[in-house]
Amino acid sequence: MNSCDGETWKQKLVGIGTDGASIMTGCRNGLVARLRRDLEKPELEGIHGSAHKIELAYKDAVKDVPLAKKVDLLLLGIYLFYEKSSLNRSMLKRAHDICQVPFLVPTRVGGTRWLPHMLQALEHLLKSYKAIVLHMQQIQNPDDPTYHKDSSRKAQNFLLLLTSADIVQYLHLLLDVVLCLGGLSELFQHGQTNISAIVNEIQTAVDVLNKYLAWPGPSLRRIMEGDTTMFQGEKLSGRSNTFKTATRDMLTSLISSLNKRFIDIAKYSGNEDFGDSAVQALAQALEKTLMEAEVNPTLVEDEWTVLKSYIYKTSSADAERGFSQVKLIKTDWRSRLTDDHLTDHMVAQLHTESVGNLNPDKAIARFLTTGPAVWMATLTLLAAAQWKIWTTAMS
């Protein structure tokens, strides 16, 4: 870190955005605490990123719901059942062919904290439900060539859960909830998100969840309006009040968590005058210097007020992406990068415009008028001249 951008980063550093892990925000040996201590900057501000607040609110809501824990274990267990066995995957593909449904492999629900990953795991399970149940039933037969005692025992436990009415209904409830929150999660991950969009989306999500307390969502309603004892041709068992209790507890807790983690901007009474007196004193003390730099000191206070409304980004997903990019770059073939080159690659990865928004005209024009293009044109002309001389001599 001492060689990163010389020593200037130490003087320029005033704040750092991280996730909420103790290795980052720990009060004694966390990254922020160590930077404050090593740089002798007790004023260094650590900012807990907002990118995962939706996911954390969801985790708070389901941690005390027994049915939610069963579903999480079911999703993880089915993923590992097929991920760790190529034989099980090949037999699952054959079951998909028999059921004439598109082949979808169960995905991991706990790989990251982003809710869209949970959505993908739910969709794959429900779309492949008939094929998965068929495969689980097949490996119960001792005469089946693929029969294995350990796999058969696991499959039997999975079947008990997959054919439970409470589990199937909760899976559809969860699909509705994650669809509702997934759009909000993706909005938080967008680097250009603004506060007004976030506030509107949060309120919309809370309104939808409140509606789900009284009326089932689209996915749940489809199975509740039909024969609730059957799902995709499989008979369901174990109907009880567990699902109703889990629905009420999960939705109520989720709404409460969202309201607690995200303040109501309309009711916010923060310190709107923060820094005003300091900026005023600074402008007066540096009036001569500012005037020499052609800066109007009387406008500094107004500029400070405007700056405060823009200074904090709504999305902190870039902090999360930074850790991912470090891992990707350092495990690539460039594993011997110095700190300076690693920083350059990080800047290029995190701050480069997306391909869809890139206008290459300036880069092309610069290339055509600078060294490389000029050298290429010169070499081309020289090669053409030499070829002409050689062909003339040969003729």
Share of the chain above pLDDT 70, in %: 81
Average pLDDT of the chain, as a whole number? 80
Distances (CA, A) of 253 to 64, 101, 259: 9, 36, 10
Q: Which residue has the higher pLDDT, 99 or 151?
A: 99
CA distance 45 to 37: 12
pLDDT at 214 over 70: yes
- Residue with the two structure tokens 């008979």: 235
**What's the rounded mean pLDDT across residues 374-382?**
71
Q: What is the pLDDT, as a whole number, of residue 332? A: 67
Please tell me the least confidently modeled range out of 95-104, 159-168, 222-231, 299-308: 299-308
Inter-residue contact 24 to 18 (CB < 8 Å): yes
Tell me the Ramachandran region of residue 143: left when phi exceeds 0, alpha when psi lies from -120 to 50, beta otherwise. Answer: alpha
- pLDDT, one tens digit per residue, over 270-289 is 566 777 888 888 888 878 77
Q: What is the pLDDT, as a whole number, of residue 283? A: 82
**What's the rounded mean pLDDT across residues 287-309?**
78
What residues have CB less than 8 Å from 229, skipping those under 6 apart?
165, 235, 236, 239
Please tell me the least confidently modeled range out of 131-140, 167-176, 227-236, 292-301: 292-301
Q: What is the pLDDT, as a whole number, of residue 131? A: 93
Q: What is the pLDDT, as a whole number, of residue 114? A: 67
Q: What is the pLDDT, as a whole number, of residue 252? A: 93
**What's the rounded mean pLDDT across residues 340-368?**
72
Please tell me the least confidently modeled range out of 54-63, 179-188, 222-231, 370-379: 370-379
**What's the rounded mean pLDDT across residues 86-101?**
91
Q: What is the pLDDT, as a whole number, of residue 291? A: 81
**What's the rounded mean pLDDT across residues 36-58?**
79
Inter-residue contact 201 to 262 (CB < 8 Å): no
Inter-residue contact 269 to 61 (CB < 8 Å): no
Quick one: three-class SS letters along the chain?
A: CCCCCCCHHHHHCCEEEECCCHHHHCCCCCHHHHHHHHCCCCCCEEEECCCCHHHHHHHHHHCCCHHHHHHHHHHHHHHHHHHCCHHHHHHHHHHHHHHCCCCCCCCCCCCCCCHHHHHHHHHHHHHCHHHHHHHHHHCCCCCCCCCCHHHHHHHHHHHHHHCEHHHHHHHHHHHHHHHHHHHHHHHHHCCCCCHHHHHHHHHHHHHHHHHHHHCCCHHHHHHHCCCCCEECCEECECCCCHHHHHHHHHHHHHHHHHHHHCCCHHHCCCCCCCCHHHHHHHHHHCHHHHHHCCCCHHHHHHHHHHHHHHCCCCCCHHHHHHHHHHHHHHCCCCCCCCHHHHHHHHHHHHHCCCHHHCCCHHHHHHHHHCHHHHHHHHHHHHHHHHHHHHHHHHC
pLDDT at 170 over 90: yes
Distances (CA, A) of 283 to 14, 132, 246: 20, 70, 59
Domain boundaries, the chain: 1-49, 55-265, 362-394
pLDDT at 118 over 60: yes
Structure tokens at 48: 């807990």
CA distance 75 to 162: 10
